[in-house]
Amino acid sequence: MIIAVTNAKGGVGKTTTAVNLVAGFANRNKKTLLVDLDPQGHSTRCYFRSEPERDVSDFIMDRPSQAYRAVFPTDYPEVDIVPATPRLSETAELLSARIRREERLDRALSALPEDYRMILIDCPPSLGILTYNAINAADLLLVPVQPGVGAVVGLEALIETARELRDEDNIPFRILVTMLDLRTTHTNAIFEELMEDHRRKVLKTVIHKSEALNQANLAGKPIYRFAKSSRGAEDYDALCEELLKLRLPSHI
């Protein structure tokens, strides 16, 4: 299953979700690939510390048959990565002059010799050409939203864009509530109202606000290597289980 973690808003928990789902699936012995599509490379930092010889720019710009050369192992036996570097921001511009510019990631992933059980794409915080590539490649769009006013702003634009790109009416997407703080019930009420239109698409699992998750990010580690028995680890474990049980596309 290819999951694109996407939301044009920054700071909603995309990278945290991608990084920890990758670790969670690996813990379940699922061979997993992380594709970092954000020029900031925050999720790369968690799994790949050295300067990569090739990166995600090569992965999408080269011919699909050569894409595998930008895939690297990590110190998790079950995790491979296509790392991002700041070069990726130029790539986004160069892409606009290339043929099949919105399908390049999809084609590269399809050409990989390794058969990954899970592929996680960490998207940049914008609805541009890189995100279009992720939308075209994905079996599921996972949209993290943080409760509060304006939580679902941009969701309609994302779905509409996906319909156009994929020429499908029913876009396979799920909303993930992140950084939920149960003490701020007022924002929760606003949030629920906003979510009414998409109630059936909201995942049961919610990710609570957790200082352990924040600290794990700062340390550049998945939560399972930082605070194994924290609330954050439990939440992402529950999310892994829920996603593994999703039956796509029949139960969209």
Q: Give the binding site for Mg ion (CB under 5 A).
A: 14-15
Quote the tokens at residue 46.
């968690």
> Which is nearest to 240 in space by CA: 5, 78, 12, 25?
25
CB of 115 to ligand ADP, least distance (A): 28
User: Is residue 84 part of the contact set for ligand ADP (CB under 6 A)?
Assistant: no
Residue with Cβ nearer ligand ADP (61 or 148): 148
| Of the residues 3, 4, 15, 116, which one makes contact with ligand ADP according to CB under 6 A | 15
CB of 98 to ligand ADP, least distance (A): 26
What's the length of the chain? 252
User: Is residue 155 part of the contact set for ligand ADP (CB under 6 A)?
Assistant: no
| Of the residues 2, 6, 16, 174, which one makes contact with ligand ADP according to CB under 6 A | 16
Rounded Cα gap, residues 14 and 201, in angstroms: 17
| Of the residues 136, 178, 205, 230, which one makes contact with ligand ADP according to CB under 6 A | 178
Buried b (16+ CB within 10 A) or exposed e, 179-196: bbeeeeeebbeebeebbe
Amino acid at 12: V
Q: Note if the bond before 52 is cis, omega within 30 degrees.
A: no
Outline where DSSP puts E strands in the chain.
2-5, 32-36, 72-73, 79-82, 118-122, 140-145, 173-180, 202-208
Quote the tokens at residue 233.
């680890």
| Of the residues 207, 223, 227, 240, which one makes contact with ligand ADP according to CB under 6 A | 207
Q: Could you tell which of Mg ion, ligand ADP, none binds residue 174, using a CB distance below 5 to 8 A set by kind?
A: none
Residue with Cβ nearer ligand ADP (67 or 205): 205
CB of 209 to ligand ADP, least distance (A): 4
Q: Are 177 and 184 in contact (CB under 8 A)?
A: no
User: Is residue 150 part of the contact set for ligand ADP (CB under 6 A)?
Assistant: no
CB of 205 to ligand ADP, least distance (A): 12
User: Is residue 213 part of the contact set for ligand ADP (CB under 6 A)?
Assistant: yes
User: Is residue 145 part of the contact set for ligand ADP (CB under 6 A)?
Assistant: no
Query: Helix 129-137 crosses helix 88-95 at what angle (to 10 degrees)?
Result: 80
Residues that bind ligand ADP (CB under 6 A): 10-16, 42, 125, 178-179, 207, 209-210, 213-214, 217
